Structure 1
Amino acid sequence: MSLLGKKFNAPVAGPMGPFYAAGVVVFYGVWKVQSALMDTPQWKNDPRNPNLKSAKPAEH
């Protein structure tokens, strides 16, 4: 007896394909908008910006 119940051989990946593709498109769009906003003048010199190139490295 299986702990998960009866197995049904229903297709999962096929019907979910458009949702997977939409997730990839949304992820790519958010990534592009985020990287574009990090280059705006408002955030260009913000210390929280990961693209900020500091003049000297932090010393320990």
Structure 2
Amino acid sequence: MAFLGLRKWPTPIVKPLWPFMVAGSFTVYLFAKAQESGIRSAQWRNDARNPYAAELAKESLH
């Protein structure tokens, strides 16, 4: 008998999905690193379309 919709043995959620969570976090990390290296590349460092150009210019002066 279920009490307020709770079962005696809860349905596993995290256990079968852990490979997808690990792969998703790894993918997010790799995309973030790729974006960071693209923003800081010499080709895009001084481009007007780069939203971080002012910050990169301040860093290169030091």
Q: Please tell me the residue identity of whatever aligns with 2:23.
A: A
Mapped to 2, the partners of 1:48 and 1:32 lie a distance apart of 19
The percent of aligned pairs where both chains have the same amino acid is 34
Partner of 1:35: 36
Cα deviation per residue 1:20-60 (whole Å; 9 max; x = unaligned)? 011001000000011001111221111221221178xxxxx
Mapped to 2, the partners of 1:53 and 1:27 lie a distance apart of 25
Which one has a larger percent helix, Structure 1 or Structure 2? 2
Partner of 1:48: 49
User: Would you say how many aligned residue pairs link Structure 1 and Structure 2?
Assistant: 50
Structure 2: stretches of 5+ with no match in the other structure: 58-62
Q: Please tell me the residue identity of whatever aligns with 1:19.
A: F
TM-score by length of 2: 0.64
Structure 1: stretches of 5+ with no match in the other structure: 1-5, 56-60
CA RMSD of aligned residues (A): 2.2
